[in-house]
Amino acid sequence: MRLILLGAPGSGKGTQGDLIEKKFGFPKISAGDLLRKAVNDMTSIGKKAQHGMQKGELVKDHLIIELIKQRIQKNDCKDGYILDGFPRNLSQAYSLEKIDPGQKELAVDIQIHKRTVMKRLSSRYICSKCNHIYNINKEIRPSAEKKCEQCGGKLIQRKDDKPEVIKNRLAVYHQKTEPVINYYKKKGVYKAVNGESIPQVVFEQICSIINESNMEDNEVEAVS
């Protein structure tokens, strides 16, 4: 199964992706993490992506599509994977079909208010080593020493989690990513959850959706 996590920046796609990966065993692929690694490693893709990322704009499609393609082709993605932050526009959605056709799809939209986006992102910390996500206003609070409880890495605030860049990322989301929602609605694979609740409650909603979808598959198999 290809589980596509949709939602505005700060809606909790990364946090939910981690929880789903742990429970269901599918690898989580974060487009932002792939790009940040490429920037840190100063690869040719990273060098081309850096400028747009700093401003909160989408990087060119062919750059992120190449990274996603390389990742999806790895062996651990054969039975399924979770996508966080991809596709972010219609052309990426079409490319995804071509890269990996025939994969059963489920698109889960984590919905939150605009005001929540600003609040969450300005209080977010991530681990510079393993990308685990923390928030000073939540139960997943960073420790006083700002060290990751999973790997001991240093916790940092992302450069694009500044108010002016957040505003731009939200504008880009409305303009470019919202049409993707309609695309998955038309395909009949779209589900929405309320992302305002605490992570565990959102996670339970997503688990029910995944389990329901698996049950439907089993029923179809049993009939045919």
Hey, which residues are catalytic here?
Answer: 13, 88, 124, 158, 169
Question: Can you tell me which residue has the tokens 């993605």?
Answer: 77
Rounded to a whole number of angstroms, the minimum distance from the CB of residue 11 to ligand AMP is 10
Q: Which of residues 43-82 bind ligand AMP (CB under 6 A)?
A: 52-53, 56-59, 64
Helices (H), 82-198: 90-99, 114-122, 163-172, 178-187
Q: Which of residues 136-165 bind ligand AMP (CB under 6 A)?
A: 160
> For residues 50 and 214, which CB has a smaller minimum distance to ligand AMP in the complex?
50
Residues whose CB is less than 8 angstroms from the CB of residue 57 and which lie 6 or more positions away in sequence, other chains included: 168, 172
Q: Decide if residue 106 touches ligand AMP (CB under 6 A).
A: no
Q: Decide if residue 117 touches ligand AMP (CB under 6 A).
A: no
Q: Decide if residue 86 touches ligand AMP (CB under 6 A).
A: yes
Angle, helices 44-55/61-72, rounded to nearest 10 degrees: 120
Residues whose CB is less than 8 angstroms from the CB of residue 190 and which lie 6 or more positions away in sequence, other chains included: 107, 109, 181, 184
Note the residues at the interface with ligand AMP (CB under 6 A): 9, 31-32, 35, 52-53, 56-59, 64, 85-86, 88, 92, 160, 169
